């Protein structure tokens, strides 16, 4: 079974702090994704990575950056956290990008920025 783990289930940070969200997958998947989930807005793609050190912006990359130094690990960085980044953050991985490849999700990190 594919396992995607996220470093924290709950996180509380202050405005202006630098925040790191870590994601690890154990199935040698090429592709990894970061989403945020907000009520009424569904899942929105922040960034994704199709290979080590490769990244592409998703639909809402502003205020975020990512790092993928190893295949199994994909980090989401909030350079200076703001209250509008309070959200549920979901990491996912997939074997391929073509249509039939589904994504495997981690349990999510509930981030609160105060």
Interface ranges with other proteins (CB under 8 A)? 4, 9, 31, 35, 40-45, 48, 50, 58-59, 90, 92, 96-100, 102-108
Q: How far is the CB of 106 from other proteins (least distance, A)?
A: 5
Q: Which is nearer to other proteins, 26 or 79 (CB)?
A: 26
Backbone Cα Rg of the chain:
13
Taking CA atoms, 98 is separated from 20, 50, 90, 102, 112, in Å, by: 29, 12, 20, 9, 34
Q: How far is the CB of 85 from other proteins (least distance, A)?
A: 19
Nearest 5 degrees, angle CA 108-CA 22-CA 74? 105
Q: Which is nearer to other proteins, 90 or 113 (CB)?
A: 90
Q: Identify the bridge partners of residue 20 per DSSP, sorted by sequence position.
A: 77
Q: Which is nearer to other proteins, 18 or 52 (CB)?
A: 52
């Amino acid at each position: 079974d594919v396992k995607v783990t996220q470093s924290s289930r709950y996180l509380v940070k202050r405005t202006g702090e630098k925040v790191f969200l870590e994601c690890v997958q154990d199935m040698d998947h090429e592709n990894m994704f970061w989403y945020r989930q907000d009520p009424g807005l569904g899942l929105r793609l922040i960034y994704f990575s199709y290979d080590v050190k490769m990244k592409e912006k998703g639909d809402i990359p502003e205020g975020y950056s990512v790092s993928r130094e190893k295949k199994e690990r994909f980090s989401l960085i909030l350079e200076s956290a703001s209250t509008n980044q309070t959200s549920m953050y979901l990491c996912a991985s997939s074997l391929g990008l073509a249509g039939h490849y589904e994504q495997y999700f981690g349990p999510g990190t509930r981030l609160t920025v105060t």
